[in-house]
Amino acid sequence: MANRLRALPKLSTLQHRMPPEPAPGTKSSETSDYRAMTESQWLVRFVFLETVAGVPGAVAGGLRHLHSIRRFKLDQGWIKTLLEESYNERMHLITFTELYRPGRLMRFLVFATQGIFYNAMFVGYLISPSFCHRMVGYLEDEAVSTYTKCLEQMDRGRLPQWTDGGFRIPEIAVKYWKMPEGRRTMRDLILYIRADEASHRGVNHTLGNLDQVDDPNPFIDEHSNVSHMHFAAGKPAGLERMEALEKAGALKGGGSL
């Protein structure tokens, strides 16, 4: 697998340009004309979105874990970040299922979609990890856009159940994001989740820019093993390779888990 991975940059040198982030208070025509949906319709969309979003990190992290075992070498810090991403997406899903319980049809669709997407991601990551990270970065950008559209509809008063003062978000969300008193509305919850998606977007575009075998993960502190994925939230197109290596300090001596 190592030899295949080394050859991947040639297969996946994509020139990508992320659209500029809208300034606070401005609305793009695409967002402004977005079809209004009810709270329950948004929850169906969120639940389905998160069942898909939790797959790539698990597949990539699992394959890199097996690769590390076969090589008898420590990973360059990628596994932890990828599995953290997958766990974070799963917590989004669990939070939303506290507000909406999927029926049989939704469960079947999730089962079918997961089976297709998991296997496609598995094969794709064996062929070109860099391309897969790039693709996930674009998917995360769509997730950011989706949550932004929801926030705009909320601000326009089109989702009255969620803006009602008596509405309570799930307790699991309060504990997971350590949400402070006075910042526990549905709007706050969507902001937390959108920030997570923005981080995943930047992380995956950054990983897509790196050498898939030798470059260290710039979002892991070698000494504290703390994740710094939030650095990527303000970088929609990700860190360029040299910028990422500088951020990682080249992780001299390796040893990242």
Q: Which two tokens stand for residue 208?
A: 């897509």
Q: How confident is the model at residue 223 (pLDDT cuts 50, 70, 90)?
A: low
Average pLDDT on 73-94 reads: 93
Is 158 a residue whose pLDDT tops 60? Answer: yes
| Highest mean pLDDT pick, 13-17, 21-25, 174-178 | 174-178
Question: Rounded distance, CA 191 to CA 179, Å?
Answer: 11
Task: Tell me the CA distances in angstroms from 148 to 13, 32, 99, 155, one per residue in order.
Answer: 30, 11, 19, 11
Q: What are phi and psi of 10, to 5 degrees?
A: -65, -30
% of the chain surpassing 90 pLDDT? 67
Residue 77, Cβ density class (10 Å: 0-12 exposed, 13-18 middle, ≥19 buried): buried
Is 21 a residue whose pLDDT tops 60? Answer: no
pLDDT at 214: 87
Q: What are the pLDDT digits (tens) for 45-64?
A: 999 999 999 999 999 999 99
Q: How confident is the model at residue 227 (pLDDT cuts 50, 70, 90)?
A: low
Which residue, 13, 26, 85, is CA-closest to 50?
85
Does domain 38-249 match CATH 1.20.1260.140? yes
Domain range list for the chain: 38-249
Which residue, 91, 96, 108, is CA-closest to 40?
96
Q: How confident is the model at residue 257 (pLDDT cuts 50, 70, 90)?
A: low
Average pLDDT on 216-238 reads: 71
Question: Rounded distance, CA 225 to CA 255, Å?
Answer: 11
**Residue the block writes with tokens 């601000």:** 155
Q: Mean pLDDT score of the chain, rounded to an integer?
A: 84
Which residue, 54, 77, 79, 55, is CA-closest to 65?
79
Q: What is the DSSP letter of 19?
A: P
- Identity of residue 220: I
Q: What are the pLDDT digits (tens) for 102-124?
A: 999 999 999 999 999 999 999 99
pLDDT at 25: 46
Average pLDDT on 139-151 reads: 96
The better pLDDT of the pair 167, 27 is held by 167
Residue 33, Cβ density class (10 Å: 0-12 exposed, 13-18 middle, ≥19 buried): exposed
Q: Which two tokens stand for residue 168?
A: 């309570």
Q: Which two tokens stand for residue 78?
A: 């990628």
